[in-house]
A and B are shown apart, each in its own frame.
Chain A
Amino acid sequence: MAVRTEPFVLNMGPVHPSTHGVFRMRVTLDGEVVVDIEPVFGYLHRGIEKLAEQRTYAGIIPLTDRLDYISSMNNNFAYCLAVEKLAGIKVPERAEYIRVIISELQRIAALLIAVGAFLNDCGAFFTPFLYMFRERERIVDLFEMVSGQRLTYNYLRAGGVSQDLPEEFLPALRKFMDMMPRFMDEYDRLLQQNEILIARAKGVGILPAEQAINCSISGPVLRASGVKWDIRKDDPYSIYDRFDFDVPTQPAGDCYDRYRQRVEEMRQSLRIIEQAMKQIPSGPVRAEVPHLIHPPVGEAYGRIECPKGELGFYLVSDNSIAPYRCHIRPPSLINLTALRDMVRGWKVADLIIIFGSIDITVGEIDR
């Protein structure tokens, strides 16, 4: 007698250690093989876009901290760029340099978490994660020095930053910059040729370049598929055109390549910080901006290359003190578009690492 089988529906999340927050998937399985998935969002929906319509332009900055809460500085940055574009505010030189240093440090911190969490998903339970947290801790200490906060910094302002760097910041950053390359070499020694990592991640969850572009994928996931596209290079904002850095890409677009991509991007961020530290001028850190900004009627889109991809703010102004509409382009949500196609045919254990290699923050998906 033939054995009759039928697909099995498994509910994964919203509370599950591998779902990076409160993300839920309904997974249809044939034995251990994934037939289909359906992502279910909304467990962290706070209506930030609606809240923003009732706040002043400056009052929205703390809201942006709570989007992708592991790269708050970058969120501040994208939002402030959009406001500056809308209201025509010019930022002083020193503030531009501070912003670049801070946002590259934040990129390293966020990529460390991305890589650590990915290795966690691969089964290297918490050892590499805590290695990465050791370095992230130093960056968070630096941020505490400048803003007094350790997670939601609320540091950038339209027209500059909230306060100048304290005296002890640059020496402490120097110390960090001297240590970090050694740590990076340590990761490579531990992981790059690691047989288990290669066996788990090489060739798994391939995302072809063509599809990545069609699905509006951005950031390290796009570049790991071989598309050389980085907003810092291709549409330079702030003062990124003054720095010399490369845009690394990977050939295959599998989970291993996405991991390698993130490690290499950290090295490029270190290069940028090194140059910015040498060039930083003295001077004011904040333009003369009124407390209540009334931008002219119109719209503006400010975008940056954040650790997860293209983060943008689309603001519509009606000349009042609050934006008429504040839309956030969330890289975490849009990067998940291709997930369904990437995981079909793989096993449940692969689903976890493919999902982990995309690197999402639920605060930004649900907003």
Chain B
Amino acid sequence: MEFLGIVLLAFILICALAVCLTRNLMVSIIILMSQSLAMSVIWILLESPDLAITEAAVGAGVTSLLFFVTLKKIHAIGGEKQDGEAEE
């Protein structure tokens, strides 16, 4: 158990650094999502399942979705390239 905790903490540290260092905004959001997921597992290891539920739903789910929507709105990531639509 302790080993798993250390691995997860190291993973979180690496993720936090990678979020800052990636150039691609979409990739950095996905890394943030995975960091949140690792954090929720750590909450379970620390015996606080209610926090784990909230972290998984809010941190990994809703927050990154809102980030995605914002990036779409400012045309930082492209939409679906179907129907022969030209991307600007």
Are A and B interaction partners?
no
- Residues of A whose CB lies within 8 Å of any CB of B are none
- Residues of B whose CB lies within 8 Å of any CB of A are none
